[in-house]
Structure formats: C-alpha cells, structure tokens
Amino acid sequence: MTTPEDAASAIDPQGEAETGLWAPPLAAAAPRGLCTDCGISRTADAKRCGAACQFIAPDYPALEAAVHGRARDPDRPDEVHFGPFRRMLRAGLKTPRPGAQWTGIASRLAERLLETGIVDAVLTMAPDPQDRWRPVPVIVTDPARIADCRGMKMGYAPLLALLEPARERGYRRLAIVGIPCQVYALRALEAELGFERLYVIGTPCSDNTTTERFHEFLALLSERPETITYLEFRADYQVELRFEDGSAREIPFLQLPISKLPGDFFPLTCRTCVDYTNVLADVTVGYMGGEGRQWLLVRNERGEELVDLLGEEVALEAPGTGGKRKGSVAGFIKNTERAAGGLPLRSMPDWLRPLVGWLMPRIGPRGLEFARARLEMKASETVLHLRRQAPARMKNMVPDHVWRLVAPYGLEPEPGERRGTEDERPGSGSGSGSGP
C-alpha cells in the first residue's frame, strides 16, 4: 500500500523552489481512535489533537464566532442547516477549467490568490503520480501549478502537516483548500500558528474512505475501473463517470451497488461527521444547492474578498429550490436505523428502480431543498451510528444544531447525550458517560 510519505516523495523531493509545487516529507501519524489524519498528529506537538479535533469535543458556536464574528443564528433561514453565511450563490466559471471537478472555482480562487500576491503559498492536494485518486498534500507557490491539483481525490491526506514546513520556508500568508475535519483543526489552532493571514477555501465532505476502498467501489461500477478518470455524485440523482477514451456513463443513485460494499467501507468518523458544509471556511465551494452548477456559501468578509477576485470570470445567481425533502429523509432514517443495528438494508425491487430513478429528479428535492435533505440525512446518521457504536461520545461530539436538524423526525437526545440538559446534574441517574 502506498503511504502519504511514499506519494509525497514521488511528486517532488527537491522542493517548490524549483518546481512551484512541493510535497514535503511527512512524519508518521500518531495512533488515534476516531481520526481522519488531518495532519496535526504528524506535527512537532501531536498532543494538540486533543484541542483541535472535531471528533473529541467540538465547539462550533465559539469557533463560528471567532471566524465569522457570530455563531449560526436559528432565526436566519437555513443557518441551522448550512452554518453562518452572508449569501448563497449558484455559480460557474464562464470558461470552465479543463480537468476541474465542476467548472474550477476552487482552483481558480487559489490561482488568483497566488497571481495577485495576496498569499505566499497554497496548501492543497495533488494526485499521486502513480494513482490519480490518491491525495497527496502539497505546497504550491506557482499559480500555473494549481492546474495539477484539480479534480477529486479520495482518501485520507494529512494536509495540516504542511503548516510547519510552510512556516519554516518563511511563508506568512497562506491559502488552505481543505475539507471540514481539516478546517476545524486549523481554526481551533489558528491563533497559535503565527501566520499573518489565512484564506480558507472549504469544500463539503461527508463520506470519505481509504483510496484502496475507493478502488473497490470503482471495480463495482465498471469492468475497466482503471480507465475511470472522473466520478461525481450529481444533484440530479446521477453518478457521472468519465473514461480515458473520452466516453461517459451515468448511473442513477438507486442503481449503485451500495449493498455490496463492506460494512466498514465508510469509517465511523465519516458516518458521524457534523460539518458537511465546512462551516468554518471563508467560502464553501460545493454543488449540493447548485442544480447542476456550483454552490457557494460566502461566510464572511474574507469570503467576499475571495469571490471578488473572480470578477467577470464567474457567473453568479441566486440558488433555486424545489420538491419536498421530508419523505426522502424519513426513508433514509429508517434504512440507517437498520444499518446501525446490523440489519440488512431494505432493497427496492429491480423492476421498480428505473421508474423511481426517473421520478426522483422531477419530484424529489432539488436545489436548496436537496441540500437541506442531505444535511438532515447526515445529522440523523451521526446520531444513530454514534449512539450504537460509541454512546459515551454522544454528549461531547454532537453539537446542538445537529439535534435541531433531527428533531422533526422524532430523534431526540436520550439521558446523558446532550450537553447542558437536566440529566447532566449530579445525582440525576444518567447512565451514559461523557466522551474524552
């Protein structure tokens, strides 16, 4: 198996001074329980994981206030779902970038930050030269090399391990393109890192897995998985595949071979993540609410500055919404309850799948309603899987906004599962312990 250390040495052992893109050598990860290897355990002070990890005792209200000037407001439409934001946009580059996952907004933002000299370097992911799907953390200083980082990668990658080599090179203004567990740890430690300025471009994330597991999934989708160059779960309920020969294929969600995946395909960390939309980024660049285009959540003044860098290169409009999510979410919860309890998923008859697959894009949730549905599904998944597999962690790991999202579906905290409730008082008789 290729390790992040092996992949890094394969990209450029000489350093970005010569090539504009550098994958520094990395220390080994410290052993952890619930861990996605954000990179902090590979730094000089691995004990900082205790304060930085979102899977121990996250404090989203405090960090949201520190980053955005305020925590999410339940009285503002959609903030319980998506976190604090100034505005949401449906967006796309007018000239899409070749090799981009969508139109290339995230990579173009990184390019513009380097082109204008606003940042000294960008910390992001590049594909392993030996495996296009394996992410390798890299430091980029040449805007032309951002093109080498475009597209989706799948697997764990210790992005934050690059903070120390970046600082040692004298870089004081950085951009970080990261997923939620990386961004949470970054924000938790930001005040002590000593950088002059950070710009955080966040991408949504829910279900990560190892690169090796992902190859197993690809093998279930095609007889020639090694030729797949692109995969995307689209908001029209289709998975799009592209191949080396230029051909493409679409697979309806309902026809994916999910039942053939092993039970540990998605680790407990990803099944219990509470931050699908990357709420601590300056701008979140995703697709869920975009109805076929990209979806931006501009969260603070720095996020506005980032979008302004795109100027006339980007087309912006208000996102749309349609359909109803309640039935879809309720059905998902029933299946998740069975899965969390070790029971087989209820499968739809094969003859019915094409019909339902045709109906879902037409009558199912669309646009922002699709995004709301996905957030409620993730919230319910967090509660059900954590309650089953790590109940002692419930009180510290599940923030208040998650309970708000699942309440309409009858999922309520049991004694000892929610911080600040009556059952936490001494002598209350609660049988659940707190997390570490």
* Pair 57, 152 in one domain: yes
* Pair 294, 340 in one domain: no
Question: Whole-angstrom Cα distance, residue 171 to residue 176?
Answer: 13
- Residue 344 DSSP one-character state: P
Strands 238-243 and 228-233: antiparallel
Are the CB atoms for 23 and 136 separated by under 8 Å?
Answer: yes
* Pair 80, 197 in one domain: yes
For residue 192, being part of any structural domain is answered with: yes
- The Cβ-side half-sphere exposure at 265, using a 13 Å CA radius, reads 16
* Pair 277, 401 in one domain: no
Strands 283-286 and 197-202: parallel
User: Encoding tokens for residue 49?
Assistant: 């994981």
DSSP collapsed to 3 states, 374-394? HHHHHHHHHHHHHHHHCHHHH
Are the CB atoms for 365 and 324 separated by under 8 Å?
Answer: yes
pLDDT in tens, 75-124: 999 999 999 999 999 999 999 999 899 999 999 999 999 999 999 999 99
Q: Which helix (H) or strand (E) holds 295?
A: strand 294-298
* Pair 185, 329 in one domain: no
Q: Which pTM was predicted?
A: 0.89
Output the tens digit of pLDDT for each of the chain's 436 residues: 445 444 444 465 455 556 899 999 999 999 988 899 999 999 999 999 999 999 999 999 999 999 999 999 999 999 999 999 999 999 999 999 998 999 999 999 999 999 999 999 999 999 999 999 999 999 999 999 999 999 999 999 999 999 999 999 999 999 999 999 999 999 999 999 999 999 999 999 878 899 999 999 999 999 999 999 999 988 888 899 999 999 999 998 888 888 888 888 889 999 999 999 999 999 999 998 988 899 999 999 999 999 999 999 999 999 999 999 999 999 999 988 887 655 445 555 564 556 555 556 666 789 999 999 999 999 999 999 999 999 999 999 999 999 999 999 999 999 999 987 544 433 333 332 223 3
* Pair 304, 390 in one domain: no
* Pair 135, 85 in one domain: yes
For residue 228, being part of any structural domain is answered with: no
How many beta carbons lie within 10 A of that of residue 125, not counting itself?
23
For residue 213, being part of any structural domain is answered with: no
* Pair 293, 381 in one domain: no
* Pair 82, 164 in one domain: yes
* Pair 271, 335 in one domain: no
For residue 249, being part of any structural domain is answered with: no
Domain interval for residue 184: 4-208+267-319
* Pair 310, 339 in one domain: no
**Nearest CA among 286, 400, 292, 389 for reference residue 339:** 389
Domain stops at, among 259, 292, 319: 319
Can you tell me whether residue 46 is helix, strand or coil? helix
* Pair 80, 204 in one domain: yes
Domain stops at, among 319, 338, 362: 319
**Total domains present in the chain:** 2
pLDDT score of 12: 57
pLDDT score of 364: 78
For residue 227, being part of any structural domain is answered with: no
